[in-house]
Amino acid sequence: MQIIVHLGPRSYPIILQNNALGSFPARLGKLFPESKIALVANTTLARLYGPLLALWKKELRFDFLAIPDGEKYKTVDTWNLVVDFLLRKGLDRKSVVVAFGGGVVGDIVGFAASAFLRGIACVQIPTTLLAMVDSSVGGKTGVNHPLGKNLIGAFHQPSLVWMDSAFLKTLPRREFVAGYAELFKYAFVGGRSMFDFVNTHHDRMMAGDHTALLEGIRRSVAIKAAVVASDEKEVSGKRALLNFGHTFAHAIERALGFKGVLHGEAVLFGMRCACDLGMRAGTVPDASRKVYAALLEKVPRAPIGALPDAHVLYGAMFTDKKISGGKLHFVLPAKPGESVVVNDVAEKQVLETLRAVMNLK
Ligand code: NAD
Ligand code: GLY
């Protein structure tokens, strides 16, 4: 199945399939028949998918680099390692670099492609659920800085996103649940049909039912593609809606020093906080309160480290890079499937939410 991200001359296809791993070389070869190719994965994926990559290499003859695995390596140093590799292997402006992995590999390699010779083609092969439904689509690339996450980067749309749900078979359960948070998120911003789909098929997707999961991924990708097409660089406010639950999530991650919590796990809490705050701030219509309550029951709960008092966590929200004009922006639920950005939520209500949802002092 194919979904197009419509961005004029920078439009690109997202291929979504199940168990057709052998078909990648033909697809890439058709798109880039004459190009020199480099493929970058991390050491974990190089080990897990060594035989598959060896098969692909026979057909595509790419240069291969494995970078270290982990968010702590999402740095300028690792970015430099990739750029250095591309230079040494003699890639040119017509070349293509393939990012094979989760959001970390995708973000680093996408950023390397954006800067190498002022920008070469990049193909994303997302192998985590998070990367499939979110990070591989939309062209946000970058690395972390000691002062914060994703502070250095560029918008650089891929030329192709090629995903196969077979990769999820080897994904650890904890990573699956964290990625599922980003799929669940689309229930709040992707329209009534996605809201109902998640409500109805949540249990099946969590149990790994392949048909339900594939449909959940397809719907998520279609929603993200449409949002990116309408607000590529996050200026009109439409793309900002994809940050549902993220103002809270980022504060939780920072309060925990990014240790012992995955981004998606923080988003699970963030979504519950956003719903609670939406009820307090009055963005959720009275008639919809019950449906939200039922959906919230389904949000998976992840174990989380000890958090500071509510007012400290509130303070942590003001260091988010998405903050502007000194004001917090919350994406809050409105009618089922829709959310709104609210800039003037009272501190008292945010503290009440943090105390109620997170059990904080
Ligand atoms: P990740 O890339 O660190 O992958 C998680 C773990 O799973 C890693 O250890 C990885 O080696 C392993 N893994 C990957 N695929 C596997 C597979 N098929 N089988 C077994 N193990 C596998 O984490 P992630 O959750 O994919 O991505 C998180 C990153 O994405 C963060 O850096 C975040 O900032 C970024 N992100 C970017 C965007 C964007 O729009 N660019 C959006 C959301 C998140
Ligand atoms: N992950 C949010 C975005 O791509 O805008």
Q: Ligand 2 centroid to 135 CA: how many Å? A: 7
Q: Which pTM was predicted?
A: 0.96
| pLDDT classification of 358: cutoffs 50, 70, 90 | confident
User: Where along the chain do its domains lie?
Assistant: 2-170, 173-358
Amino acid symbol at 335 = K
Please answer whether residues 95 and 159 qualify as being in contact, where contact means their C-beta atoms are separated by less than 8 angstroms.
Answer: no
Please answer whether residues 108 and 82 qualify as being in contact, where contact means their C-beta atoms are separated by less than 8 angstroms.
Answer: yes
Does pLDDT of 322 surpass 80? no
Could you give the maximum distance between any two Cα atoms of the chain, in Å? 62
- Cα–Cα distance measured from residue 285 to residue 272, given in angstroms and rounded to the nearest whole number: 17
Mark whether 243 is an active-site residue.
yes
Which tens digit of pLDDT belongs to each residue from 133-160?
999 999 999 999 988 889 999 999 999 9
> What is the overall mean pLDDT for the chain?
94
Tell me the percentage of the chain whose pLDDT exceeds 90.
Answer: 83
Q: Which helix (H) or strand (E) holds 145?
A: strand 140-145
Which tens digit of pLDDT belongs to each residue from 48-107?
999 999 999 999 999 999 999 999 999 999 999 999 999 999 999 999 999 999 999 999
How do strand 339-342 and strand 160-164 relate by DSSP bridges? unpaired
Name the nearest CA neighbour of 328 among 317, 339, 337: 317
Mark whether 352 is an active-site residue.
no
Does pLDDT of 324 surpass 80? no
Residues forming a β-bridge with 330: 342
Amino acid symbol at 96 = V
Average pLDDT over residues 189-211: 95
Name the active-site residue from 182, 232, 253, 265: 182
Q: Ligand 1 centroid to 128 CA: how many Å? A: 6
Name the active-site residue from 36, 42, 74, 140: 140
Q: What is the pLDDT of residue 321?
A: 66
Q: What is the pLDDT of residue 328?
A: 86
Provide the terminal-to-terminal Cα distance of the chain, rounded to the nearest Å. 49
Name the active-site residue from 156, 239, 272, 329: 239
What does CATH list as the number for 173-358?
Answer: 1.20.1090.10
Q: What is the pLDDT of residue 306?
A: 86
Q: What is the pLDDT of residue 296?
A: 85
Q: What is the pLDDT of residue 344?
A: 85
| DSSP structure class, residue 208 | T
Tell me the percentage of the chain whose pLDDT exceeds 70.
Answer: 99
Name the nearest CA neighbour of 4 among 160, 205, 216: 160
Which tens digit of pLDDT belongs to each residue from 106-127?
999 999 999 999 999 999 999 9
Question: Which residues, at least 6 apart from 315, have a Cβ–Cβ distance to it below 8 Å?
Answer: none
Average pLDDT over residues 5-15: 97
Supply the Cα-derived Rg of the chain in whole angstroms: 20
Ligand nearest, relative to CA of residue 135:
1
- Cα–Cα distance measured from residue 236 to residue 212, given in angstroms and rounded to the nearest whole number: 32
Q: How many CB atoms lie within 10 A of CB 244?
A: 28
10 Å CB burial of residue 117 (0-12, 13-18, 19+) is middle
Q: What is the pLDDT of residue 281?
A: 94
- Cα–Cα distance measured from residue 353 to residue 358, given in angstroms and rounded to the nearest whole number: 8
Q: Ligand 2 centroid to 197 CA: how many Å? A: 21
Q: Which helix (H) or strand (E) holds 83?
A: helix 76-88
Mark whether 202 is an active-site residue.
no
Mark whether 246 is an active-site residue.
yes
More confidently predicted of 231 and 315:
231
C-alpha distances (whole Å) from 308 to each of 264, 266, 273, 312, 347 are 20, 15, 16, 6, 17
Structure tokens at 135: 């990070």
Which one of 104, 108, 137 would you pick to mutate in the ligand 1 pocket, going by the greatest count of ligand atoms within 8 A of its CB? Answer: 104
- Cα–Cα distance measured from residue 187 to residue 196, given in angstroms and rounded to the nearest whole number: 8
Residues forming a β-bridge with 222: none
Q: What is the pLDDT of residue 228?
A: 98
Amino acid symbol at 56 = W
- Cα–Cα distance measured from residue 156 to residue 151, given in angstroms and rounded to the nearest whole number: 15
Lowest average pLDDT, out of 44-58, 68-82, 178-192, 310-324, goes to 310-324
- Cα–Cα distance measured from residue 169 to residue 146, given in angstroms and rounded to the nearest whole number: 34
Residue listed under structure tokens 């591309």? 86
Q: What angle do CA 67, 70, 75 make, to 5 degrees?
A: 70
Structure tokens at 105: 């590999």
Please answer whether residues 90 and 66 qualify as being in contact, where contact means their C-beta atoms are separated by less than 8 angstroms.
Answer: no
Pocket of ligand 1 (CB under 6 A): 42, 44-45, 48, 69, 71, 74, 101-105, 107, 127-128, 130-131, 134-135, 138, 140, 149-150, 167, 170-171, 175, 178-179, 263
| pLDDT classification of 254: cutoffs 50, 70, 90 | confident
Q: What is the pLDDT of residue 294?
A: 86
Q: Which fold has domain 2-170?
A: Rossmann fold (3.40.50)
Structure tokens at 321: 């890079």
